[in-house]
Structure formats: structure tokens, C-alpha cells
Amino acid sequence: MSRIGKMPISIPENTTISLEGNAVNVKGPKGELSQELSDHVTLDIQEKHIEVKRKDDSKESRARHGLFRSLINNMVIGVNEGYKKELELIGVGFRATATGQNLELVIGFSHNVLINLPDEIKVTATGERGQNPTVVLESHDKQLIGMVASKIRSLRKPEPYKGKGIRYKDEYVRRKAGKSAAK
């Protein structure tokens, strides 16, 4: 049996979970999320916890068991605590400004890159003197925030020679040595 799938998901005090047809809805102080369930898993909802159970022992059911337990657990954590991703812009002249749901990046192209973010994501950009500009994304949806952060990072991935580019705050970029001088 899946070690992740068999662990129960605890439900915090101010969270409501409902099962409507084949969709599970999670509502909390930070927002509301919904996830369509697979035919291979079922939910057993008690007062203080939820258990994800699979219908049979087929390979497909075993694969979906841990997946849906993790998805529902991420939804419960998201509507209560929320998720946060920090991106760092490293390079000379790199800047970021956030106005409402728009993020404007100056990352070494001939034009500024303008990104319109979904309403579920709150964005802030800071640029202190002597430090690299940072972009902070906050949301209750872990999948959405990961996708948006990945999209922003893909605009200018960190390169291995000088380390310039957009990277996650805790990301380590392995550096390479450049060309050695001719004798």
C-alpha cells in the first residue's frame, strides 16, 4: 500500500470539506479550491480527518492513491496557510515592478516583459539598493503558484558562467569555469 496514500489528512478547525459527485471542495479562510477525483479512489470524510482509499489493487489505482492524497493535502494547507514563492533577479540592470496584477520585468531584453497574473496570485516586487531585486508570489493554490513561478523563471533561466538570470530564492546554480587564456 502507498505510504503517502494511507496517511490521514487532518482537517483544521476553520476548514470545510465537501464531496459533490466526483469533485472535492475545500473551503478555508484564504479561499476555496476544487479538485476532480479519479474513478480509482474514494474519500472517507470524518470530523477531524480524511482518508483517501483506493477501490482495487490495480496499477492505475495504486498510482492515483498517493497522488490524490497529496493534492487534497495541498488544498487543505493552501486554504489555511497559503503558499509563497520567491524569485530573485540576478544581473546588471535587472528590475521588477508590480502594479496590481501586472508584473513588469527588465531582464536584459530590448523591451520590458509584461506579465498579467491570475487574480488568485498576490505579487510584490522589492528592489533594495545593494541587493538583487526579488519577486514574491503568494496564493492559496500550490499548482497555480508553481506554474506561474516556473513561467517567470523560464523567461531568463540562470546561466552557469556568470549566474545571471531569474532563480528561486533558495536555488543553487552550479557554476562552470570559462575558457582558459591562450598561452
Residues 96 and 71 in one domain: no
State how many domains the chain has: 2
Q: What are the pLDDT digits (tens) for 49-77?
A: 999 998 888 888 888 998 999 999 999 99
Tell whether 140 is covered by a domain.
yes
Q: Which of the two residues, 51 and 1, has the higher pLDDT score?
A: 51
Using alpha carbons, select from 54, 64, 61, 66 the residue that is nearest to residue 3. Answer: 66
Instruction: Output the pLDDT for position 4.
Output: 85
Residues 31 and 94 in one domain: no
Mean pLDDT value across residues 127-153: 94
Residues 146 and 103 in one domain: yes
Instruction: Output the pLDDT for position 134.
Output: 95
Mean pLDDT value across residues 121-130: 92
User: Structural domain of residue 41, as residue ranges?
Assistant: 9-80
Residues 53 and 107 in one domain: no
Instruction: Output the pLDDT for position 159.
Output: 92
Calculate what percentage of the chain has a pLDDT beyond 70.
97
Tell whether 44 is covered by a domain.
yes
Residues 88 and 154 in one domain: yes
Using alpha carbons, select from 141, 150, 10, 128 the residue that is nearest to residue 69. Answer: 10
Residues 26 and 51 in one domain: yes
Instruction: Output the pLDDT for position 63.
Output: 87
Among 39, 65, 80, where does a domain finish?
80
Q: What are the pLDDT digits (tens) for 73-122?
A: 999 999 999 999 999 999 999 999 999 999 999 999 999 999 999 999 99
Instruction: Output the pLDDT for position 136.
Output: 96
Q: What is the CATH number of the domain that holds 71?
A: 3.90.930.12
Instruction: Output the pLDDT for position 47.
Output: 86
Residue 183 binned pLDDT confidence (cut-offs 50, 70, 90): low
Instruction: Output the pLDDT for position 62.
Output: 87
Q: What are the pLDDT digits (tens) for 15-52?
A: 999 999 889 999 999 999 999 998 889 888 888 899 99
Tell whether 173 is covered by a domain.
no
